[in-house]
Each structure stands twice: as structure tokens, then as C-alpha cells.
A and B are shown apart, each in its own frame.
Chain A
């Protein structure tokens, strides 16, 4: 039974939580998008998706990504930079469906950002990759990024990176690896009783 003082309880914060079950794809298009860019690549969806999951290879084609650490399937740490400037930030993958969709959010409070990428097959057998990103800087940076110019610059940057990816994967022809897992609400959903990475010591540690 609820306590009589429940009216004074804090309102629960289910940020990022989804009310639907653990079943199918849970796409969560960004309504208030800051940036949306699409590029078509001439490789099948599976190839494009698989290569995208190899985050550590992003510096090979990107002009701004300097390094990516994969802490675990749902957490990556990105270093981006231009010239001598560097910024490092952790990112949580909150949803991931093989060959279809990936949504992430930055774990930093400031600036905070979230994004998603969709992979759609094209009639020609290629893949349309759409990236949507929402940046939410705070303080002075917020004023700067409100301008149309800033939005245009971000769009151009995202588009350029997508084109870089296109050239990269089309040049390679096939993916260099794959992570085919599913992520829901920031948690890995496994379909094998014991995925290889879970094979570690299981005895109690004092």
C-alpha cells in the first residue's frame, strides 16, 4: 500500500525508459532534431551496419574523430578534435537493432547530446544511412549554437562525415568486423546462453 505521504513523494524520473516490452525494435525518432543528414552507400545494409558498429575504426575515415575506446558494448568513449583542440566524452548506446537502427546519448551533462542512425535498404541494393543529432549545450555555448550558422555548420560536418564513411565502406567493399547484438534501454539483450565475452571467472571474489 502506498504511504499516506505519497503526495509529497518525488515524481519518478523515467528518463530514457520505454514503457513497451522487451520485444521488437524501439525506434525513438528525435522530434526536435537539430541536424538530419542522409547519405546513400553502395553496399548492402548488413555490410554498412556491421562496419558502423566497428567504432574503433572511425578515426580511419573521420576528419574529427581521433580515437574511440569501447568500454563495453553499450559504452564508448570518443575523442574528437580539430587541430590542437581535443574533447573526450563518453557515449551510451541506448538502443541498437542489427541492420536497422542505433540510438545514443552522451553521458556528459554539458554539452549534452543525443543522436540516432537508421539504415534503410534502397531499391538499388544499397543503403540509405540517416543520422539525426540533437545538441543541447548549456551556458554561453547555448547562445552560440542557437544561430542558424551554427546549425548549418553542424549539418555540413555530419554530412561530410557520412560521405567519408560512404567512401570508406565502398572502398573496402566489405566490413572489417561486426557486433550483432541488440541493446534495449542501454542494456544488452543476448540471445545465446553464454556470449563469448561473458566467459570470465565466475567464482566469488572476496
Chain B
């Protein structure tokens, strides 16, 4: 165990060649090093050995599914999960003295890493209007302040209730119930910023907002596409599934602007061949695509498949499936055949021959899965891209059969479950009707605000109270300066949190920190010890129960905080048994079972080892969209272009980072050490731009309205990024993403494909001459 850093660590950048493989023994060493820095060997052992086990803790690190009970490894976690769980289980504590020592302005000047490293929050804190410091406040008073502000609003729609994907099903259900009983649908969530495009595209085309594959499907697919995702860093346990798929004879095509280590080779540290051998090659074929070129790639593949069918009628397309289960094929096919290969090359940077080789892989594969993540969803054309992926899958009937399907890979552990529980600003009437019937009040019907629109509303003074259930909203959101200004304009901001982050330093007139239990900790309520439930990326619902003593006796669970707040705010109207909910989470699950489709007998079914899997209608032969059939779509061509002298920037996470929280300034897979203020650029682009490795530049984004945004003083690293593109770390470069730059249809911020130019910092320092 080490003490928290007193001052920001001073490190300088060093660059080594990118790694060609992921995990292996170094992953174990790094995980243990970080864990033991944070907490004791005993706590580390308890956490890790109960993590992702039946009756244990669901790893908050990502939403990847667990193998079935009896098939799990004793160490069913990855390097990043181990770091994350022990980052939460840290023995470091933040007390009232810390806030006396550090003003809000001081904290606002600290890095994300430094704030996180200070340890666990231990008691409620308030920053009063005009004060420069947080000070302790009793729970009753804190919740009273918040309830009073809510009750004083002219309209319930002047409040926003944000949810991050760490929240359990029970907490999420209680939050949406409270918000709607209070009178608003303003329920933005982190989904708005990660997979909103997936949800919209899949709902429209397939009638389900969720992926259709299970782990077994991945294990037995003939061909798996990994598109716009970096499993080695963002969901490392996926590598185990890919390894099994490879050992079963499957092949993998990786499509990404960066040749990430985890896409190349995986050394499974839990297998002898991963410790002493060469490991498993992941990608059999790597397409080094330009950011945003994926739509053109799948349109090209679809055209090639149509042409292959022309050449050998009846042998390529799955006419049974297309005729019986889909609509829109003819219009789609007409459009697909008009593809221009020059556009494809410009959009993708790939040759026709490269794409034809992939077509050949598809033609020899009976079972195909496409996985994707934010490298797809965070583009302006994220929704059309995913719709085109669905077209691709449907052409050969790669839906609803074993070993086939669509696999959006989600990042936050319960991001899918929170949405299932009703955390969405646009919930359909069927859900609201069920709430009405169950709880006897009239939920508001007008749609509420998502994340982007919440920021706009705060900025315009239409929202005055912001409550966040977990997360680090100001760092996750785009246009950092605008978002911070929006938060600061609120009358009250409140965060239910386990650890300190920048959102606590961006305060409304009044600010509250409401410290809560983490996943690792025992949750004892009036009816005894509680567990919570979560839903993973493959729609499996299961329990999570911590084993460690809470970081402080003053911590309340998320459910307890929300129930107490609801009681204080709403009084007895409507008549909802908040105290009963707080004392026994099983009573919340009883209500969920009557409100949320698919959760019948929730308490009984989730008590089974491993919980239960929600059925996916697509795998039942049902398409619950407006047309009642799987929908082929016609998607307009998009050729992302940067003006001369500009690049298309993608923001990304480092390997040593979880969401907005960096654990160090290193990114060892990419060979970056000691600094996060780097921009990765293709060497040919550097030559054209007259730059060289080691140069210091400002990143300047250029938006359609002519406005410019600047991220200052980044060091240039020559890197095998796709030609014409650049990459830099999130959240440091969120400042470059305009609030108005959102994905069509889904309103998801576009953190990929940002047009930037690189201005040497020496130019900035130079006096302006006439």
C-alpha cells in the first residue's frame, strides 16, 4: 500500500515500439502491482477470487459476459478489471481535513489521475454558495438541501437525473421511479455517449436494442469481425472468447485505424501456452481503415456479395431468410449496386483487392458475427454504419442462428441493465403504463433530455438542479469547456460517488458529494445483507455482492440514498414504499418483475447460480420493429474528408485507464510512457505536415460553424495510425468535440472523425503581426 500522491507526478514522455501482443505475464504483474499499491494483499485476494464468480462481485470494469457457472476460471478477470476493483477497494481515504486543505479551485486544477488517487470518499460534503471549500454535512441535512432545491423548482423539468453504468438494476429502477414520480423524464445516461447509435440502429432494423450473440455463439462462429474496437484494453476478457473461437477453427477479421496489440496476438496468462508460448494470433486479416470508413467498407462488401450471387445464383445469399423474414431488400440491393469504388478507396484507404479477400472469407463462412464498439458508434454516421452491418449480416442469413449475429460490445458493467430498467428520456408508453399501473401515479409522457440536450438546457438556464448517480459527467461529456460552464450555471449539483473526480470540482452554486458503497463492499440494510443485480452485454442478468467492509461507516448504498431522497422530496405522494425498498432490495425486484418485460419471477430466477438470460427476440424468429420484419436499409454514402493540412482525429483510452480515470501516464501496448498529452500520427502525414516526432503542437478542431477549439501542448508521436488520421487520449481531448457535433438520429456525441489541424505551439507563442 502506498500513500496518495501529494503533488502531481512529474514524468516525461518516452516512446517505445508498439507491442505486438496483449496480456501474458506482464498483465498479471501490472495488475498485482497496482492492486498492492492501493490495498492490502488480503483485500486484493478477497476481491479477485470473488470477482465474476457465482455469488461474488460483478466486475465493474466492463460488461463482457461470464462463462456459465462451473465453467469459470478461478481467476475470472483481466488486468484492467483487477486494477479497477482494487482502485475501488483502496485503503486510501478522503476525509474532511482533505477538503479543508484543498479548495475547490485547487482541486479543479488537478489531473484526473491525481483526484482518483486520493482514495475513497467517506462522508457527505457540501460546498455552500460563495464558499471555496467543501465541508462536512450530515446525511439528513444533505438530502434535505437537495430535496428543498428540487421542491423549489418551477417545474420538475428543471432537474436532470444522470446515471452512469455502474449503477445496479435496483438503483437504476429506483432512480427512474423517483424522477418520474417527481414529474420528469430528464434521465440522461452514459449510454447516450457510448452505444446510443447501436441501440437506435438495431431497434429500427431488428426490433431489439441489444446484441444477439452469446459467448457460445462467438466460440463457434466461422468468422468474426472486430470493427472499431480494441478488446485488449477495453474488454480484455473478450480475448479469451476469441481465443476459443480460433481454437475451434474460426477466423477473425479486425478493422481498425490503429493496429492495436490485442487485435494481433493474445497470450492468455491463465494457460501455459500464454505464459511460455507465442499465444494465439487473433486477427487473421487486419484492415487498416481510415476513421469513419466502415460504412463504405460494409457497403462494398455488400455489393461484392450481391455480385457473387449474380455469378453463382442461389449459392451466396440466404434467400430463405431474405424472403421470409426481411423487407426492403430490393431497394437496398439497387442502391448497393451503384457503389463507386473510388469513393470506397477514399473513405476506407483500402484497396479493392483487400476488400475482395474479405469477401472470400465471408463466402467460405457459414456463421458470421460482427462485433463493434465506439470506433463505430461515435461517428456522425454511426447509425447508418450499424444499419449497413445489419444488411451485411442479413444477406447470408447470419442472424438468429447459432454462431451468428450482431455484437455491440459495451463498456460499462451495467450500462445495458440501466437502460432496461427505464433509464431513458424517451421510454415508450407501454413502460410508462406499467409504471402507472404498478405505482398508481401518472408518469410524465413528454420526452425528457438526453446528455447533450441536458448540457444545452443547463447552459441556457432551463435546468437548475443536476444529480448524478455515479460517473464523471463533465469528463465523459463532449466540449469540456461548454459542459463545465453548463454545470457551473446550475443552482445545485450533486454527485453520488465512490471516489473524487473532476465533476466534483465543477460546482453549481451549491454542490453536494454523496458518498456511496462500492461493488466490493457489504451492503447491510434493515432486512439484512443485500445483493444487487446487473445485466451484461449478452443480456444475462445476475447478482453482485461485495464482501469487504465499507470504506466508512457513514457510507450509504445507492439505493438507500435514492430512497431517502425520494421520501424527503415527495413525502407520501405518490404512495411508494421507499423505506421498504431501502430495507429489502428484493421488494424492488418484485416491482421490476411486474413492470419490466422479461423479468417475471425476478427474485427466484436471479437466485439461481449464474442468474438468467433475457431472450433475444431475433433468436426467437421475431422482429419487434415497426414493420415486423428485419429491415434492409438504404444508407447514403459517406466519405469522411479532412481539408488539406488537417487530419481526422479519434479520441481513445490508454491501456492504463478505466473510462475517464487514468491509472498512470503510461499506455504500454502503444509504447507510450510518461505522458498522456500525445497525438499519434502516421509518419507520412507528419512529413506532409512538416512535423516530426517530439514536436509540440496544439490540436485545433474545426467545426462547421467556423468555431475552433483548442487542446494545448501535445507531443507528436510517429505512429502507425491510418493515413490521414490521428489519435489522442480521452478525456483530455473531449474539449475538441463540439456539443453540436452529434451522430445523426442517435444524438450521440461524435468523439471520432473530428477534423483537426496540428499547430506548433511555437506558432501560438509568436506575436501576431499585421
Contacts and interface: CB of A to CB of B under 8 A. Distances in A.
Nearest to B408: A205
Residue among A22, A107, A190 with most chain B CB within 10 A? A107
A143 interface: no
B248 A109 contact: yes
A194 B621 CA distance: 10
Nearest to A18: B320
Contact of A13 (B192, B366, B420, B619): B366
B363 A204 contact: no
Given A73-B620, A187-B401, A206 B324 contact: no
B216 A1 contact: no
B364 A201 contact: no
Contact of B401 (A71, A92, A201): A92
A42 to B, nearest CB: 34
Contact of B598 (A14, A109, A201, A206): A201
Interface string B598-628: 1000000000000001111101111010001
Contacts of A3: 304, 307, 356
B402 A184 contact: no
Nearest to B191: A206
B315 A12 contact: yes
B209 A204 contact: yes
B192 A197 contact: no
A11 B308 CA distance: 9
Specify the main secondary structure of chain A where it touches its partner.
loop
A15 B416 CA distance: 34
Contacts of B596: 201
B765 interface: no
A194 B337 CA distance: 35
Interface string B338-377: 0000000000000000001001110111100000000000
B360 A107 contact: no
A199 B138 CA distance: 45
Interface in B188-241: 189-196, 198-200, 202-203, 207-210, 214, 216-217, 219-220
Contacts of B359: 9-10
B318 interface: yes
B199 A206 contact: yes
B401 A185 contact: yes
A205 B195 contact: yes
A202 B620 contact: no
B320 A10 contact: no
A77 interface: yes
B312 A203 contact: no
B397 interface: yes
Interface in A77-119: 77, 88, 90, 92, 107-109
B597 A206 contact: no
Interface in B304-331: 304, 307-308, 310-312, 314-316, 318, 320-321, 323-325
B400 A187 contact: yes
Contacts of B199: 203-206
A12 B316 contact: yes
A206 B613 contact: no
Interface residues of A, number: 52
A188 B325 CA distance: 11
B646 interface: no
A46 to B, nearest CB: 22
B156 interface: no
B364 A12 contact: yes
B431 interface: yes
Contact of A6 (B307, B597, B624): B307
Interface string A174-206: 000000010011111110011101111111111
Interface in B527-585: none
B191 A205 contact: yes
Nearest to A108: B248
A1 B311 CA distance: 8
Nearest to A14: B315
B366 A90 contact: no
Interface string B711-734: 000000000000000000000000
A16 interface: yes
Contact of A202 (B208, B249, B315, B401): B208
B403 interface: yes
B427 A5 contact: no
Contact of A12 (B312, B400, B419): B312
Contacts of A197: 615, 620
B512 interface: no
B68 interface: yes
Contacts of A11: 312, 363-364
Interface string A30-68: 000000000000000000000000000000000000000
Contact of A200 (B214, B308, B598): B598
Nearest to A188: B621
Contacts of B192: 206
A1 B203 contact: no
A1 B633 CA distance: 21
A26 to B, nearest CB: 10
Nearest to A86: B70
A205 B247 CA distance: 32
B507 to A, nearest CB: 27
B415 interface: yes
Contacts of B200: 204
Nearest to B192: A206
Contacts of B364: 10-13
A126 B622 CA distance: 35
B424 interface: yes
B155 to A, nearest CB: 25
Contact of B209 (A1, A2, A22, A202): A202
B428 interface: yes
B210 A205 contact: yes
A22 B321 CA distance: 8
A69 B318 CA distance: 29
A15 B613 CA distance: 29
A190 B356 CA distance: 36
B311 A2 contact: yes
Nearest to B317: A12
Given A77-B216, A109-B248, A190 B622 contact: yes
A74 B402 contact: yes
Nearest to B214: A71
21 contacts: A1-B307, A2-B310, A6-B311, A12-B363, A19-B314, A21-B320, A75-B216, A90-B402, A108-B248, A201-B596, A202-B203, A202-B617, A203-B203, A203-B427, A204-B198, A204-B209, A205-B416, A205-B419, A206-B189, A206-B194, A206-B199
- The 10 closest A-B CB pairs, nearest first, are A206-B191, A204-B199, A188-B621, A200-B598, A10-B360, A198-B617, A205-B209, A2-B311, A186-B401, A107-B220
